[in-house]
Amino acid sequence: MTKYCLILIGLFSICNSAYASVVLPKFFSDNMVLQRNVAIPIWGWADADEEIEVKINCQTKTVKADKTGKWMVKLDAELAGGPYELSIKGKNIITIKNVLVGEVWICSGQSNMEFNVKGVINAEKEINDANYPFIRHFAVVKDISSLPKEDIKGGEWAVCDKSTVASFTAVGYFFAKQIYDELKVPVGLIHASWGGSNSETWTSREAFENSDEFKEMIAQMPQIDLDSISKLYIEQKEKLVEKLQGSKTNIADAVNYKEPLFNDSKWPELNVPELWENQELGDFDGVVWFRKTMQISANDAGKAATIELSKIDDEDITYINGSEIGSIKIWDAKRKYTIPAGLLKEGKNVIAIRIVDNGGGGGIHGESGDLKITTENSVIPINGKWKFQVESVKSEVDKNSYPSLLYNAMLNPLIPYAIQGVLWYQGESNAGRAYQYRKAFPLLITDWRKKWNQGDFPFYFVQLASFNGANGNSNNGSAWAELREAQTLALQLPNTGMCVTTDIGNPKDIHPTNKQDVGKRLSAIALNNIYKKNTVCTGPSFKSMEKKENQIIASFENIGSGLSTPDKYGYVKGFEIAGSDKVFYYAKAFIKDNKVVIYSENVENPEAIHFGWADDAGDNNLYNVEGFPALPFRTDNWKDITKDAKYKIEIPE
């Protein structure tokens, strides 16, 4: 036999052996947690018709792979316990060690679910106290796909201790900690979230196809691979940019954008501070230049000064009159740079900022008062209209560019792993389409339940915290309030629960650091509804109202041991009241006989009340005695500022 033939035979043997090996999804690995008290699916891939044997504890199951090599067994239900070894034997043997059986929860959503333990209040103490070997955490590696995938990109199970817990989802961890402390059974968290993601990217194509609301949208979406999607995405964004600024992107020209004599008179404008997603540039990722011309007096010329630019998402390089004065690559960090002496001149001066947005929100955001130049003699505001020009479009598809991208890559591969339920924290990215979220969110919940085929498993979610997204209120309208209302309406689905967080948000930070109370409130719902601890687990919700002269008396459900407020004078804050003119006024309110009496001297004949109807609803202070905050609500439907906003995709011709 020739040497060439021997090499071919050897290569064939290696390839054939690799193909024949039993392979498991990446989340079947050491330290994993399996769901107790239900049949346990174990699956993977092998050679066609290969015999597979699966063992754990005192049971053994066998199955034969199908003609494509796929196989699945369902182990009998196990009680909480472990650690065990899970053995899978085909032509090779895989042994998974330190396996526990307990409660498994999927943790998903956007950045407030992704927010990890190292960022919470009292983080150092929480980390040092994290000795919970029966809590395990699996972080699904971020990935997108235009078509459903069979396996995730990567990830690993981590045993909870002070060396690992810092990177755990904080909401999930504090939930698991409470569950473990109460039940003393293992808890496994499978964490699949991505900051800035909308709900549509977590929903399957099939769900959209069967939805009257979305089937027309999804019909426009081709079933093609990600490379082809990327090409379409870039073409679409390039067309948008050309339409907005009257010219195509030109990286070569961008080297001149920082120069003070550059003519930007034909550039379009954006409002600053405000994310460009909320303006005509829309859902755009890439590189954008901002320019603003301001006047400097003779008294300030030539002297050192400072410039503050609030926050810039994600990265900036800032120039004054063509000279670089600072650069930061943290999306939520406030920018404050020193302008050296001699750089400012009398008359016109030009600020130029090169902004790189890698995903999610983009542009200059924050408080208007945080945009200013401070000199020795004066403070010069620089908020308002800025010129802008796109340098380039991000070459990779963003997770929100098209529907189902995260579902396909990060969720579909997990199905049908046996779970107890889902914890969900998302909605910020859907606030601009809050009214449509009334359909989008229930669609996601029913979609996941249908795909898992485990019945109406528990789906518990966090209502948006207080955050002053756009100064929304009762009279101007509030997208965040409408999103919270859409979340409340989702409670009509069976086996759902909602954690209210208006009282523990931060009006200036979309990522509040008190995740401990979020986890505890979610766990209270689970402990009552699933684990039968018979405890109060939610706050007062509006039931009905009656008019009495110039007052409205509101009745509530879920009041527990009774209504309460922490205000030492008994003043209940967060209520507004309006008459037939539909103008709302801050109301005086107090608790009487476990009802709330609401009135205002400005409204003689009241017709409607609002509670917490604002982006920032942090003033709300109505609770039940058990300490759970009341749900925001309105009794009218006079103004819906997001009613006409629809999710859509744009496919270039």
Q: In this predicted model, what pLDDT tens digit does every residue of 498-544 receive, in sequence order?
A: 999 999 999 988 899 999 999 999 999 999 999 999 999 999 999 99
Q: Are 444 and 214 in contact (CB under 8 A)?
A: no
Cα–Cα distance list, 438 to 432, 457, 489, 562 (Å): 13, 20, 7, 30
- Rounded Cα gap, residues 214 and 649, in angstroms: 11
Q: How many helices (H) and strands (E) does the chain have?
A: 11, 34
Q: pTM here? A: 0.85
Radius of gyration of the chain (CA): 28
Q: Is 70 helix (H, G, I), strand (E, B) or coil?
A: strand
pLDDT tens-digit map of 115-134:
999 999 999 999 999 999 99
Domain segments of the chain as ranges: 3-101, 103-215+400-529, 231-393, 541-630
Residue 4 predicted with pLDDT over 50: no
Among all chains, which residue has been given the structure tokens 């980390």?
127
- Rounded Cα gap, residues 219 and 215, in angstroms: 6
CATH superfamily of 3-101: Immunoglobulins (2.60.40.10)
Q: What is the pLDDT of residue 222?
A: 85
In the chain, % helix, strand, coil (3-state, to 5) comes to 25, 30, 45
For residue 398, how many other CB atoms are within 10 A of its CB?
Answer: 22
Q: Is 175 helix (H, G, I), strand (E, B) or coil?
A: helix
**pLDDT band with cut points at 50, 70 and 90 for residue 651:** low
Cα–Cα distance list, 407 to 142, 209, 568, 646 (Å): 11, 15, 48, 20
- β-partners of residue 353 are 290, 318
pLDDT tens-digit map of 138-192:
999 999 999 999 999 999 999 999 999 999 999 999 999 999 999 999 999 999 9
pLDDT tens-digit map of 238-293:
988 999 999 888 888 999 999 999 999 999 999 999 999 889 898 888 999 999 99
- How far is it between the farthest Cα atoms of the chain? 105
Q: Are 238 and 250 in contact (CB under 8 A)?
A: no
Average pLDDT over residues 88-102: 97
Q: State the average pLDDT for the chain.
A: 94
Q: In sequence order, what E strands does 305-426 have?
A: 305-313, 315-320, 323-328, 334-339, 347-357, 363-365, 371-374, 379-381, 384-393, 421-425
Cα–Cα distance list, 283 to 235, 360, 479, 482, 550 (Å): 14, 8, 17, 21, 46
Q: Are 429 and 481 in contact (CB under 8 A)?
A: no
pLDDT tens-digit map of 367-387:
899 999 999 999 999 999 999
- Rounded Cα gap, residues 25 and 302, in angstroms: 64
Architecture of domain 103-215+400-529: 3-Layer(aba) Sandwich (3.40)
Q: What is the pLDDT of residue 152?
A: 98
Q: Tell me the two tokens of residue 249.
A: 């992107």
Q: What is the pLDDT of residue 112?
A: 96
| Reported CATH class of domain 231-393 | mainly beta
Q: Are 91 and 178 in contact (CB under 8 A)?
A: no
- Dihedral of the alpha carbons of 168, 172, 175, 176, in degrees to the nearest 10: -60
Find the range with the poorest average confidence among 36-50, 293-307, 389-403, 478-492: 389-403
